[in-house]
Structure 1
Amino acid sequence: MREAALAGRVPPRPPRTVIGESWSRVLSLGVNPDSGRPNSPISAEELEYRRQASALGELLPVLREGLVRIADAAWHIMVVTDAEGRVLWRDGSTAVRRSADRLGFAEGASWAEDVVGTNAIGTALVTRAPLQVHSAEHFVRTHHGWTCAAAPLHDPRDGRLLGVVDVSGPAATLHPATLSLVSAVVRVAEGELRSRHWAAVERLRSIAAPLLSRFDGQALAVDRNGWTAAATGMAPPPGRVALPASVRAGQAWLPSLGMCWLEPLPGGWLVRIAGRERAPAASRVLLDVSRPRSWAVTVSGAAGSWAQQLSPRHAELLFVLAVHRSGRTAAELADDLFGDPSRTVTVRAEVSRLRRNLAGVLAHRPYRFADGVDVQIVRPRHPWELLPHSVAPAVLAARGFG
């Protein structure tokens, strides 16, 4: 299959869809199928900086307890990368680590698709889904002696991709349960982050509640990710406020709340609402889907501008609405996103979450961007780079595969 793909021929049997799409991306990127691209590790100082800055460091005990002993016994190694695919930590079989060193699979190296081709880590970063890649499914020939199972790890506080957890070893040691094990341990690690998050919200609530009791107007205390810890004058208060990408003290316009004043609190922000009447309607929306692993929306108006990173699903949804300015019914959106017009409950829930953050920007009946809002899309240079994680029929059609 791989040889046919490299030669531009139709393979005798098609590879798995996720592998075939990855091979196409990697071929377009010009990765050398024999050796990949030069893969210089980052410096020891940069590696240590990334380790200290990553939330994954505090999860290492959970990951090691769940994977390292099993990986070591099965002649595998556990690898943890950041969201760019840089290897931050390795553990497990000493012999396999030596083999990995010869391959360049070492701390500080990049294991992204555009450097080493199709592999469980780099391809999972693109697809945002767990994946096992075995032997010649790897694009680069020197990786054919390996089998790898990887799962992306997300921050439950904001959905941000933190990195990938991977178990790799000799191809002869392939076990079909490895991917399930890695995925389960990642879910446990995400649960640990979630528990720590709610404990921090509770601490913020104990600080903010006495402060809010002295206010007559509308105000709330939120953590650094916008989750509400306490509120006054709002019934019911929002569960979460979408904060701008760069938060600073002072006056700010939030599409969901209007004009606000933000003041720092230990572990979060005090948000005092000035009143919606002081927040003119948004006039421009810029949807940036040009990057393979990060997407953002910027809302601008007379009151200022606001920007936020998007989850994969919300990036898909806003892209469809930006393309179909006349609007889409819930059934049409369900067909666009899932190929199933009956999944209207899921669509309504996702749009409701978006509208809480983008009040005045998104309208309904049908779902659409509000009249008078100038909507612009920043697309990637090549159509096949558009939201590469997505299998939504509308996105596949926009890439030219629909």
Structure 2
Amino acid sequence: MTSSWSQRRDVSPENARLLIERAHDELLAGNAADERLGDVRALVRDSWRRSLASLVGADALPPLDLDLEALAAYRREHPLAVAIDMVRGLLLPGGADESGVVVAVGDASGRLLWVEGDRTVRTLTGDVGFIEGTNWSETAVGTSAPGTALTLDHSVQIHGAEHFNRLVQPWSCTAAPVHDPETRRVLGVIDVTGGVEAVTPQAQLLVDATARAIEGELLVARLRERAQAASSGLPRRPQRRVEATHATLRVLGRNKAVLEVIGDGIETVSELGPRHAELLLMLAVHRQGLSAERLGELVYGEPDASVTLRAEMVRLRKVLERTAPALVPQSRPYRLGVQLDTDAHQLLSLLGRGAHRVALAAYRGDVLPDSVAPGVEEFRDTVRTALREALLAEASVDVLLAYADTDAGADDVEVLRLCLSMLPARSPRRAGLVARIEKLEA
């Protein structure tokens, strides 16, 4: 399969890139019949149109569909889990940290389950949301090798400018779907992302061969399991079911937290008062449990607030019994019987995975900003400091400039000076930064 950028054979790769960028601009401007679209490969042109029909944003970050807990449980049960070592051996032999590419394995819906490879490339691609748990289907981010390969059900190469999403256009990728060896149902997708080395004919042959090797390995493992079951007379072991209930407490930029609970295919959303939000947040942060004295200290600022605490816990239990019975706190010590995630913990997880741009997009403000509960104030400072330090240490200048436009970064001279040092000498943004710094230091 040809890997040329456009349908024109009389132009250089650089000029081909410019032609595709102009065609992309015309399509987004509503000129779907513009003649420049004739310079784009039919495969890409059709994918762009599907992306438009799905109302995909050309500058949007991919949605994070799976947090760390849900991701870990899902990966354990996914059919491709048994083939991860094979993927590493075939696509990341030797020094994976300096391979120049990242290798991703996704499910049939386009959600990335494993992302491994070159450390620098992982940091840079993570900045545009190419991380475990995000959705890279065509309906989520538009044209990309993983999503388009799943849509077309065959291997695909997408060169930088051919991506529908502008944030991803610095990268190129090759992907191939993986099928169930017996039913031919799509199980997932294998992707290699990097520079031009990720879209050579050899790269496509290797990714295709890896997908076929995985299918062969799955079939061999399945036949072996059946043979063992038949010889022992034992029934085949059923797969474990993943716990369906998932709860998230949203506290960023909110004084009244929002509790989202999903179970048995039903989603319930309820708003909590300030005190109930503080109590539930402290139990989510201190998952090992808290004594009545310690919980009273974290919420009320004094350890001898046990009478007030008990009364409020009774009211909180009644609220949760109606909206989320599984989250009703246990006592001695006070603790939650099931996992409660928070959007603040999700943000910290994104920072840990190097997804700075996604983390900043998820940062809607401080944790319960009006709360004066000591435990909340401490956690609020932890989240804000972690975000700031991670961005200062590793984020790109575009992400830092976006952070400088938030309430948290608006008056941060160190952030503004770092942005100034990272911008090109002739950048039109420099004048505004200099003015802000001078005003803050006056």
* TM-score with structure 1 setting the length: 0.49
Where is the helix percentage greater, Structure 1 or Structure 2? Answer: 2
Where is the strand percentage greater, Structure 1 or Structure 2? Answer: 1
* TM-score with structure 2 setting the length: 0.45
